[in-house]
A and B are shown apart, each in its own frame.
Chain A
Amino acid sequence: AQKVTQAQTEISVVEKEDVTLDCVYETRDTTYYLFWYKQPPSGELVFLIRRNSFDEQNEISGRYSWNFQKSTSSFNFTITASQVVDSAVYFCALSEAIHLAGGYQKVTFGTGTKLQVIP
């Protein structure tokens, strides 16, 4: 069974600090997809990134970067020069490719990390 662990329940940083949100996953599938979602205080869930298991290249998008390491089953998310608008709950998630044959994504979410950026 697939599992996603986000050990950090809450993190507080001062604005402009860098912060890394940890994500460790478990899966028996050799092909899978990893995701990060953001849930700001307004409550909506926003898709940030998807990563395929066969692509370990790190990705950078503005102040956001993601470090995918299959050797440690980790998919960590770093925010550089954090801003107050980054305050949110961030969810890491995993989807195994096997379910795609059935026409759906069965996504397992971690319990989330609440990030508070203090001005």
Chain B
Amino acid sequence: TAGITQAPTSQILAAGRSMTLRCTQDMRHNAMYWYRQDLGLGLRLIHYSNTAGTTGKGEVPDGYSVSRANTDDFPLTLASAVPSQTSVYFCASSDTGQALGGYTFGSGTRLTVV
């Protein structure tokens, strides 16, 4: 089934450690995004990429970095995790052509920083 694959599904991470959340799509969408979901705050954009080789900052980019080496992959890295980064992380992609639709989301990564 076409879509977005995120890994891992969940992770407990010690504060100060680094971690990369993986995201791969097979729909050939140009645009990809990382959101974090927190209770009472909805989903907030961390970083986005409109095409391979280009990335941009979203609403809450501090403490996170991304790369877009190719169309399919958009990993999110936490260089030195802090407890406030405990959240559910969603990767998404979109078709920004004439057939503009909504996002396709991955199933999420639940991260707990202790």
Give A contacts to B, CB under 8 Å.
33, 35, 37, 43-50, 91, 100, 102-112
Contacts and interface: CB of A to CB of B under 8 A. Distances in A.
A50 B102 contact: yes
A103 B41 contact: no
Main secondary structure of the interface of B (DSSP, over half): strand
14 contacts: A35-B102, A37-B102, A44-B107, A44-B108, A45-B105, A47-B103, A50-B100, A91-B43, A104-B49, A104-B96, A107-B33, A108-B45, A111-B41, A112-B42
Interface of B: 30-31, 33, 35, 40-45, 48-51, 56, 58, 88, 90, 92, 94, 96, 100-105, 107-108
B88 A43 contact: yes
Given A43-B108, A44-B105, A111-B41, A103 B30 contact: yes
A100 B48 CA distance: 13
B106 to A, nearest CB: 8
B99 to A, nearest CB: 10
Given A44-B107, A100-B96, A106 B45 contact: yes
A44 B43 CA distance: 13
Contact of A102 (B42, B44, B50): B50
B102 A100 contact: no
A6 to B, nearest CB: 8
Contact of A91 (B40, B42, B45): B42
